[in-house]
Structure formats: C-alpha cells, structure tokens
Amino acid sequence: MSTHFVAPAVELEVTNTVTSKLRFHPGWVVLGVAALGIFMSGPGQSYSVAAFIEQMLADLKLSRTAYSSAYCVATLLGGLTLPLVGRLVDRYGARIMLPVVALLLGLACLWMASIRHLAALYVGFTMIRCLGQGSLTLISTWLVGEWFQQRRGLAMGIMGLGGTMSVMAFPQVNHLLIAHFDWRTVWVVFAVGVWAVLVLPGLVLIRNRPEDLGLLPDGRRAGDENPPDQSNSGPIDRTVAVDNHQLAGWRVEDSWTVAEACRSGTFWKIIAVMSTSSMVGTGLVFHQVSLLGARGVSETYALALLGLHAVVATFSSLVAGYLTDRIQARYLLLASMVFFGSALLLLVMMPTPALAVLYSSLLGLHGGIMRSTGSAVWVNYFGRLHQGAIRGIVMSITIAAAALGPLPLALAKDQFGNYTLALSAFLLFPAVSAYFVWSAQPPVKAQTSKTDQSGISLAVDAA
C-alpha cells in the first residue's frame, strides 16, 4: 500500500504572509518560461534542421540517404533517453533540469557547428534531438502540469503558442542567417541564444511547484474557494480540515507510478492516438512538397500552407485547452482523430489544388488539439507525482513512431511512383485510434481512506 498526499508548504496563518497579499501569481511567470522552453526547442526540431540540409550536404560531401539515416537513428536514440530524463525531472525538478539541459543544448549546437564527418553528425543529431526536441519539451510541460490544475488545459494551450512561434520563426531566421553567413555560424548563434534565453531565467524565475512558495495551483492561495473539477478528468480532489482550519485547495491527489500507468488500458488507448499523430503527421510534413505537388500544388504554395497549418493550430490549441478544463479529454482526442482522418482522406481524393487549403486547415485543427489536450491528459489522468517519468515513456514511444513515419511514403513513391498505397494504409491508423480513445475513461485507482495523527484524511492505494 502507498500513500500520496500533496499539500502546500504553508503555515496555517497564511493570511499573515506577504505572498497572500500579492494577487499576481508567479505561475504566470513560470508559464511564460515554459513557453520560451518550447520555443527554444527549435534547434532540435525537424522544421529547423530542414533549413540546413542542402548546405550541410554540400559542405560535408554526404549523400541525402546518409544524412537522413543519421537523423532517423539519432531521433530513435534521443527518444530512448527520455524515460531517464523524466525521472530526473521528477527527482530534481525543472529549476535544476531546465538550466542544465539548456547549457547542454548550447554545447550540442557548438558541436554541430564543428562537425567534419558523418560520425560526428550522428553524435550531434542525437544530442540536439534528445535535448531540444525531447528534454526541453518534457520539462516545459512538466512545469505547467505542476503549476496549473483546474486551468491546466488552457495553460497548455498558451504554452503551445511557443511551439507555434517556433515553427513560424526558426525556418525563416535560419534561411536568412545561412544566406548572409554560413550554416556553422547559425549553430553558434543557436548556442548563444539558448543560453541567454533559458539558463539564467531558469535559475532566477523558476520554482518547481507552487507549494514551494506556500501557494496553490491555478493562481490560488490557501483560503480561496476551491473550484469544482468541471471536467471530471483529473485526480481526486478533497478539502481537508487541519486543526479546525478549512484549507480549500489542499489536494489529496491520486498519482500513478509508471508501472501502474502502463497496466491501465486507458494509457495505451491514449498512446495509440499520440503515436498515430506522431508517425503519420511527421510523414505528411516531411513529404509536404512532394505530396501536394502530386496534386498540382506548387512548391512555394505547399511551403506557405505550413504557415496556415500553424495559424489554425494556434487557435485550435487555445480552444481545445479551454475545453480540456471542462470536458473529458477523450472527446477532444476523438475529434482530433476525426480531423486527422478527414485530412488524409481529402489528400487521397483531392480533386483540385484549391482544396489544399482545407487539407492544411484540418491538419491544424488536429495539431492544436494534440498540443494542448494531448499535453494535459497525462497529468490529468495519472497525477503530478510521477508525471515526468510517465511523460518520458510517452515521448520515447511517440518519437520512435515519428522516426518511422516518412519511410512508408518514401517506399511507396519509389516502388509504385505515387503515394496512394501508403496514404490508404495510413487512413487505418486514425480510424482505429479513434475507436480505442472513445472508451478511454479517466482511470480510477482502488482507494481506501485512513486518518493520520494530525487529522488529515489521506488517500491510500489498495495494492
């Protein structure tokens, strides 16, 4: 049997503290830093690395196959490190891990600026994929999961704006800097930028949890009214009495270990949605120009549609985040699969290039839901105590899926001269995932209750 009690480190006479008189809650500052973390994951993301391909191929005298293979292997290896990263975040917190990861990512960027051969490229890609794409994203979502509860979905949507800005900014900035300088200089600029934006702010502005400051999630303080759980999708909440003081917002919270989460059917049903989105979505973006070119869309227009995708995803993320705090996540994840499947079907049957706008919009609607609801669901369903470890497992699986996504489309094109067979096979994935996620009810642990000597009612897991 294990007991999990999460309570803020505050004295009962909270109203006498300075923090109770300040209405600005530092959680909003933490949310801003988390959004910066998502934005600065750019050096390790595919949309940024893509801008370097032609120049690096020419300078390093590598084939496109060798370059792509290095990127694929590095993505898989980087993903394998994330369960460990997640456990380290749970143990040491983001206040330590964010500056450390940012420092290492800067060093990885300097490594990328210095590479001269293929072996060094493998090492460099592995580092930027692990530290940028994986670790910074994991740490940022962990922070939001700790600092927000009733408003967690909306906070995830706001944090996701950092990702949208990153998608829109990095490819353009990369192209401009490479044109004026060279690709090695750009990696040095990345190193300086990551250190400037994340290392010192991480040390100064970040606290791991609101309880560390005697505060509560969602900008609340002890004594504030504890809003009801409107979504019925999160851990069990209770208001407890301590020495006759009612502390609304003290939480008795169900938290699942990695082993317990992996034994839950809901865990794997949600993983099906995440893996489908990661694998198929990566394949579609990777081959965007060629896929739409086969439908009569010019290269310039196809690339511009990525911007439309990002804009639609911005609004979708905020709306989905708002709804995540009010309805069960499974409904929104089901909607994301419907949008995704509709986009795939439209791509297969696209009768006119003009419908590429609708195709990109559907992908944006799907992507926004995944960015907000897909980030919030894990801590909503499995609690805060082990969220880093659980997210590490999830991200490891989805990154592995992403690494495999472009291959079926490439094989279909090489073998049959078109993408029809691969796209038709891809249609099965959102359909099957939608079927499973519809039944992904919020998991419930068997619980009993006991009272310790202080009179605080604790949740006890019946093992």
65 CB burial (10 A radius; 0-12, 13-18, 19+): exposed
> Phi and psi dihedrals of 459, rounded to 5?
-85, 125
Confidence of residue 413 (pLDDT cuts 50, 70, 90): confident
Can you give the pTM of this predicted structure? Answer: 0.76
Q: CA dist 457 to 210, 253, 280, 368, 383, Å?
A: 21, 11, 46, 39, 18
Q: Evaluate if residue 247 carries a pLDDT over 50.
A: no
The per-residue pLDDT for 1 is: 38
Question: Tokens in use for 18?
Answer: 């300075």
CB 460 within 8 A of CB 3: yes
Confidence of residue 8 (pLDDT cuts 50, 70, 90): very low
Q: Evaluate if residue 7 carries a pLDDT over 70.
A: no
Q: Is 270 helix (H, G, I), strand (E, B) or coil?
A: helix
Q: Evaluate if residue 198 carries a pLDDT over 90.
A: yes
Rounded to 5°, angle at Cα 447 from 249 and 219: 15
Confidence of residue 459 (pLDDT cuts 50, 70, 90): very low
For the segment 375-384, what is each residue's pLDDT rounded down to a tens digit?
899 989 998 8
For the segment 94-134, what is each residue's pLDDT rounded down to a tens digit?
999 999 999 999 999 999 999 999 999 999 999 999 999 88
Find the range with the poorest average confidence among 2-6, 134-138, 277-281, 372-376: 2-6
Q: Is 312 helix (H, G, I), strand (E, B) or coil?
A: helix
Question: Tokens in use for 461?
Answer: 């897991």
The secondary structure element, H or E, covering residue 363 is helix 356-382
User: What letter does residue 449 receive in the DSSP assignment?
Assistant: E
459: phi > 0 → left, psi -120 to 50 → alpha, else beta; which? beta
The per-residue pLDDT for 47 is: 80
Q: Evaluate if residue 79 carries a pLDDT over 60.
A: yes
Rounded to 5°, angle at Cα 251 from 206 and 448: 140
The per-residue pLDDT for 253 is: 56
Confidence of residue 223 (pLDDT cuts 50, 70, 90): low
The per-residue pLDDT for 23 is: 59
Closest by Cα among 164, 117, 122, 156 to 140? 156
Return the number of other C-beta atoms located less than 10 Å from residue 62's C-beta: 18
Return the number of other C-beta atoms located less than 10 Å from residue 242's C-beta: 13
CB 277 within 8 A of CB 336: yes
Confidence of residue 164 (pLDDT cuts 50, 70, 90): confident
Residue 450, strand partner residues: 458
Q: CA dist 113 to 125, 132, 133, 182, 191, Å?
A: 12, 16, 18, 10, 10
The CA distance from 297 to 301, in Å, is 6
The CA distance from 334 to 331, in Å, is 5
The CA distance from 145 to 172, in Å, is 31
Closest by Cα among 122, 460, 412, 100 to 283? 412
352 CB burial (10 A radius; 0-12, 13-18, 19+): exposed
Confidence of residue 212 (pLDDT cuts 50, 70, 90): confident
Domains and their CATH numbers in the chain: 27-215 (1.20.1250.20), 256-454 (1.20.1250.20)
The CA distance from 277 to 415, in Å, is 25
